[in-house]
Structure 1
Amino acid sequence: MLTLKVINENTELVIKKLAKKHFDAKDIINQIINIDQQRRSAQTTLDKQLAELNSISKSIGMLMKEGKKDEAEAARAQVAGMKDANRVIEEELKQAESQLYDLLVQIPNIPSDGVPEGRTAEDNVVERSGGEVPNLDESAVPHWDLAKKYDLIDFELGVKIAGAGFPVYKGKGARLQRALINYFLDKARDAGYLEIQPPYVVNADSGYGTGQLPDKEGQMYHATVDDLYLIPTAEVPVTNIYRDVILDEKDLPLKNAAYSACFRREAGSYGKDVRGLNRLHQFDKVEIVRIDTPEHSYDSLTEMVNYVQGLVTELELPWRILRLCGGDMSFTSALTFDFEVYSAAQKRWLEVSSVSNFESYQANRLKCRYRDNDKKTQLVHTLNGSALALPRIMAALLENNQTPDGIRIPKALVPYTGFELID
């Protein structure tokens, strides 16, 4: 979340920048400033009274030594009255801090200067692209038909067991899934990322820490009895490793990678765009997370984007990178690049990764700081990216590599699959 310092010192600029995300912040910012002023005033009063209380309390012993018992008793009565008054002020401060937090978590992150104007995905900017779109013959079919033909994925069985959006992978389909996971994890390790195996459920504090709560509460599966949430991405548990932690600048950047199943309700999703693997309630993904200094975080973002570009290039998929406009960005992001791969049978681009810099927005929620070389503490910057999400990668691999003899496996994956062709 935004810091009170940023809001108080740059009020008009904050309101103006949030307008790029099409968020009208004027009223809520004014509420925050008013409550903060009241809180500061109450804190000043409390500090003065505590100082006075301390002084009077010290005088009681001296008065007793001097035999001034009546004056000492009067001082004791005054101290008791002041303590009651202070308790009232302390309760007011708690309420003000609670109100401030409830308001602050409703404000999205400020977009960076590099974010283009725009309202929808149509306004995103293509940064660069690569790879060749295959020329499929007229007999080419989409991945859901290929999955049935070669007995790779059973969507109907998933409906029977759990419901729509929970496919069952079988045979070479399951082996291809496992191959992709291992390939992505090995590539991350080679790039210097420490592998983490996180829990698949998190508590509410973790959800608030990375910004899924309260913004995406309706999209998360909630185990109400235990008040735990199924993770929508490994970003949540991995980034929360650093909640309430003070790091040393010499240890930054920290680079973590994690495979997990991901769970998303995707409420309201329907139609052709969700057929097959295009949109699922449970899917597999490898996530990369970085914790860095503010001065270096955008260099880290560039490195992460280049890293993901290397993955889709090695998988021999046609790809493009989009710089998201203000209206299409996530609640917590300061700058996001989306990766899409081309699905030749569906004749459409499919999103397979988002790589984002959250600057200090998540860190302020997490209370994740670092101690710089001058021994001063300040908020870190957090970044993450999908490297990669499997469903649409799988869809594009199946569709783009279909031949009359079967489905060809890209060379980079053959050591992991143990086969070159699905036939």
Structure 2
Amino acid sequence: MIELHRIRTDKKAIIDGLHKRGLSNAEGLIQAIYNLDIEKRAIQLQLDNLSATLNKLNQEIADVLRKKDPAATLEAKKEQSNQLKKKIKQLAEKFKAHGSDLLAQLYTLPNLPHESVPAGSHADDNVIIYQTPRMVVKGGSAHWDLVKKYDLVDFELGNKITGAGFPVYKGKGAKLQRALINFFLDQALKAGYTEIQPPILVNEASAYATGQLPDKEGQMYQIASTPFYLIPTAEVSITNIYRDAIIAESALPVKHVGYTPCFRREAGSWGADVRGLNRLHQFDKVELVQIAHPDYSYAKLEEMLTYVQGLVEQLALPYRVLKLCDGDLGFCAAMTYDIEVYAIAQDKWLEVSSISNFETFQSNRLSLRYKDKTKKTCLLHTLNGSGLALPRVLAALLELNQTPEGIHIPKVLQPYTGFDIID
């Protein structure tokens, strides 16, 4: 959530940033918030003045009682007190309503892009900052045919049990899936992350705190007759550990990793772009979360990018790194790198990780702070990245490593699978 004091002090910069995000009505949105904030503060001033008057009047009533002045004087002052209390109550309700309206309007605003984010309005404007050479496998099969041939993943069975987008992993397919999870977790632990096993259900407050609500309400699964949502990523659960927290500056950065199943409703309709493992309603992911000092968060973003690149390189997958443009940034992100692996048989790039710096956007909602050297309380920066999302990694691995003899397992995974080929 954009900090209100920034709207008060530099409306133009906020409006310019929102224009970059594609909000053509940014001026109207920010002016409405600005005006509502002025009204809310005016009500607060009235409340403060009335409260002071009431306190003075209550002292006068106490003096009348102590001096035993005429009853008429006492009754008049009591009536004044009652009228003041009614007015204060009405103003307090108005103040609360203005606060709710102000928060609701702030919740609709996306984060402002960092100054280094490329200009652009859609994915075609993203900038490729690194790419390995493409590899060619002539006559290779797409992963949806490979998993059927070797009985690794059953989409029809998943459709029978639940519906489209909920595959069943079987035999060596299930073991390869588990191998990837354990490999990613072990690598993160070596890199200094602390493992968290969080809930996969969160309440509404948690979803608001990390920006899933109200922006992605249509993409989340809500459990009927409950206030709980299935998480779209472990970021939601892990980051909310620190809601309403003050972290010692000496404890920064906080680095967590967690594996969870993830659930997203927007998996899309059947077609070439969503076929097989390319896009699912339920999928497994290992997530990286960092909480950093504002002065060092962009250095931490680069550190996370380098780390995730290392994972892909250990799996020997061809890949590229994109720096997302203004118009393709996620709602909460100030800057994002996407890592895409090349699925050879499909001849397409598949996103397997988004690594983002949210700056103070989430921490403002979370009330996640630290105290600087002057003892002033300041907002921290939050970052997250996939390390990695499994379905597309699995799809690319299968397509890349297929041979007439079977599918070879990358050497780094063999200690986890216990086999070196799927045949």
SS at match of 1:222: coil
Tell me what 1:95 maps to. 97
Q: Provide the alpha-carbon RMSD of the alignment.
A: 1.1
Tell me what 2:122 maps to. 120
CA distance in 2, matches of 1:108, 1:328: 12
CA distance in 2, matches of 1:267, 1:306: 29
The letter for the 2-side match of 1:66 is K
CA distance in 1, matches of 2:170, 2:268: 28
Deviation for aligned residue 1:83: 0.8
Tell me what 1:54 maps to. 55
The letter for the 2-side match of 1:110 is L
SS at match of 2:130: strand
Summarize the alignment of residues 247-286 of structure 1 with structure 2, pairs less than 5 Å apart: 247-266=247-266, 268-286=268-286
CA distance in 2, matches of 1:115, 1:20: 10
The letter for the 1-side match of 2:122 is T
Q: Deviations over 1:246-271 (max 9, x none)?
A: 21111111011000000011164442
Deviation for aligned residue 1:374: 2.1
Deviation for aligned residue 1:62: 2.0
Tell me what 1:80 maps to. 82
More off after superposition, 22-31 vs 282-291: 22-31
The letter for the 1-side match of 2:273 is D
CA distance in 1, matches of 2:267, 2:217: 11
The letter for the 1-side match of 2:164 is A
The letter for the 2-side match of 1:128 is Y
Q: Deviations over 1:293-324 (max 9, x none)?
A: 11111111111111101100111011111000
SS at match of 1:223: coil
Are positions 1:35 and 2:40 aligned together?
no
Gaps of 5+ in 1: none
Gap change, CA 1:189 and 1:317, over 3 Å in 2:
same
CA distance in 1, matches of 2:371, 2:89: 35
CA distance in 2, matches of 1:205, 1:169: 33
Summarize the alignment of residues 91-170 of structure 1 with structure 2, pairs less than 5 Å apart: 91-130=93-132, 132-138=133-139, 140-170=140-170
The letter for the 2-side match of 1:306 is T
Summarize the alignment of residues 309-324 of structure 1 with structure 2, pairs less than 5 Å apart: 309-324=309-324
Tell me what 1:349 maps to. 349
The letter for the 2-side match of 1:184 is F
Summarize the alignment of residues 289-300 of structure 1 with structure 2, pairs less than 5 Å apart: 289-300=289-300
Are positions 1:26 and 2:22 aligned together?
no
Tell me what 2:410 maps to. 410
The letter for the 2-side match of 1:88 is Q
CA distance in 1, matches of 2:156, 2:30: 49
Tell me what 2:246 maps to. 246
Deviation for aligned residue 1:287: 0.2
More off after superposition, 362-371 vs 382-391: 362-371
SS at match of 2:316: coil
SS at match of 2:188: helix
What number of residue pairs does the alignment pair up?
Answer: 421
CA distance in 1, matches of 2:398, 2:384: 27
Tell me what 1:215 maps to. 215
CA distance in 1, matches of 2:2, 2:102: 11
The letter for the 2-side match of 1:43 is Q
Deviation for aligned residue 1:72: 3.4
CA distance in 2, matches of 1:129, 1:308: 14
Summarize the alignment of residues 171-182 of structure 1 with structure 2, pairs less than 5 Å apart: 171-182=171-182
Tell me what 2:330 maps to. 330
CA distance in 1, matches of 2:374, 2:422: 59
SS at match of 1:388: strand
CA distance in 1, matches of 2:54, 2:16: 45
The letter for the 1-side match of 2:168 is V
Q: Percent identity?
A: 55
Tell me what 1:63 maps to. 64
CA distance in 1, matches of 2:28, 2:94: 22
CA distance in 2, matches of 1:418, 1:180: 12
CA distance in 2, matches of 1:133, 1:124: 19
SS at match of 1:247: coil
CA distance in 2, matches of 1:233, 1:171: 26
CA distance in 2, matches of 1:358, 1:383: 6
SS at match of 1:382: strand
SS at match of 1:39: helix
**In the alignment, is the contact (CA less than 8 A) between 2:267 and 2:280 conserved in 1?**
no
Gap change, CA 1:268 and 1:284, over 3 Å in 2:
closer
The letter for the 1-side match of 2:5 is K
